[in-house]
Structure 1
Amino acid sequence: MSHLILVVLWALFYFLHSLLASLNIKRKLQGKMGSAYKWYRLIYSFSSSILFLAIFVYAGLFESKMLLNSSPGLTYLSFLTAGLGTIILVKAFKHFQSMEFIGLAPHEDLDKKGDLIRKGIHQYVRHPIYSGLILIFLGYFFYLPTLSSMIHLVALLVYLPFGIYYEEKKLTALFGEEYKKYKEEVPALIPFKTKKAA
């Protein structure tokens, strides 16, 4: 039952993540919130972080079946995988306005489009944050190979096609042909193309 609740919590988290980031919902909230909408990003980031952490805390409260036998080799692989994922995340955030991304610098994100980021690691994958998270979740599973950590990883992998679809729908609406061209040139998660985006 505990594992089923964990699955439901992840489904709720990812559903809210996509719903509250959609342009239609943002525009409706902007109309209702008025000038206070500039704080929406901060509220969104804070509530998402709390729910994200709460899911991991909940998973730690009950005993979960071990799926693999722990070993020094598996532990080494976990640090290597999660470390690489962390490096990718850091490189991905390098070209964002961090304070605006978190919401600590209040702004109207529907009015201020900004530039499409195509430099750094974004030359090789369109969604490096997701790529980094996959590796971190995989590393966590290698470190603690339980059914709970497998659920964390599988829930992310199941969500990603939907999350990417809705995110790219939003980015196409914002950047139009520029994003369509970028999408054709650069893969989503795995840098299997060596050609850099222009």
Structure 2
Amino acid sequence: MDIRNFMEYITLALGWIVFYAGHSLLASLNIKRKLRLWMGAQYKWYRLIYSLLATFFFLGLFVYAGSIEPDWVFMPSDGSTYFGYMLATLGTIIAVKSMKEISAGRFIGWLPHDDLREKDELIVNGWYSYVRHPLYLALILIFLGYFLYIPNLASMVHLLALLLYLPPGIYFEEKKLIAIYGEVYIDYQRNVPPILPRFKK
């Protein structure tokens, strides 16, 4: 690996740091309250604006990674490719099933609403009865599957950035959820694991 490739991987890692830090920061209640004061009645569109910007940034990181000359962690084989497909497919299924419990319009933001005033019901059904963060579980499986399908350093950076983000990301997200739902969420925490399902009641 030459110095140019090294700097490209550093840039990719920094991009993921900015993306994940922005995700946690812009989802925090304090920042949302300040943005609502600044945006006024237009705050109802905040979720849609955020979703669009996050999507473009997310896709941009993958486009940038694709422009880096690949350095292979190991050479792909039929076995790693097949297993990668299986994991990514499982992750996609979990994501789709998890989203069935959520209003896609409210989640993405095309149904405008003030999420600081309109508290959604805490979802504990479906995959949310097995893990508190099924979408994060889905992302882990998809990113791991992608790495096995394209086992280069860029794919490994994608996966490692996600895995390093999840502990602090979950901590701050659940701190917000406790502030919103109180003892109801604390009881949910006691009974349901964060990411790895137990499949036992």
| TM-score category of the 2 structures, normalised to the smaller one | over 0.9
In the alignment, which residue of structure 2 is the partner of 1:41? 47
Provide the aligned C-alpha RMSD in A. 0.6
Matched, 1:55 2:58: no
In the alignment, which residue of structure 1 is the partner of 2:131? 125
In the alignment, which residue of structure 2 is the partner of 1:71? 77
Contact 1:85 1:134 in 2 (8 A): yes
Matched, 1:18 2:18: no
In the alignment, which residue of structure 1 is the partner of 2:115? 109
- Structure 1 stretch displaced more, 35-44 or 60-69: 60-69
- Structure 1 residues 95-134: Cα deviation after superposition (integer angstroms, max 9, x where no partner): 1011011000000001011110000010000000000000
TM-score for the superposition, normalised by structure 1? 0.97
- Structure 1 residues 125-182: Cα deviation after superposition (integer angstroms, max 9, x where no partner): 0000000000000000000000000000000000000110010001000000000000
Residue type at the aligned position of 1:121: W
In the alignment, which residue of structure 2 is the partner of 1:147? 153
In the alignment, which residue of structure 1 is the partner of 2:35? 29
User: What is the aligned residue count?
Assistant: 195
Identity %: 54
Alpha-carbon shift at residue 189 of structure 1 (Å): 0.2
Alpha-carbon shift at residue 193 of structure 1 (Å): 5.0
Unaligned runs of 5+ in 1: none
- Structure 1 residues 41-78: Cα deviation after superposition (integer angstroms, max 9, x where no partner): 00010000000000000000111210112111111101
Query: Which residue of the other structure, out of 153, 172, 182, is the alignment partner of 1:176?
Result: 182
Unaligned runs of 5+ in 2: 1-6
Residue type at the aligned position of 2:65: A
Query: 1:118 and 1:111 mapped to 2: Cα distance?
Result: 21
- Structure 1 residues 79-98: Cα deviation after superposition (integer angstroms, max 9, x where no partner): 10000000010011111011
- Structure 1 stretch displaced more, 126-135 or 63-72: 63-72
Matched, 1:137 2:146: no
Alpha-carbon shift at residue 192 of structure 1 (Å): 2.2
Query: 2:117 and 2:171 mapped to 1: Cα distance?
Result: 22
Residue type at the aligned position of 1:122: Y
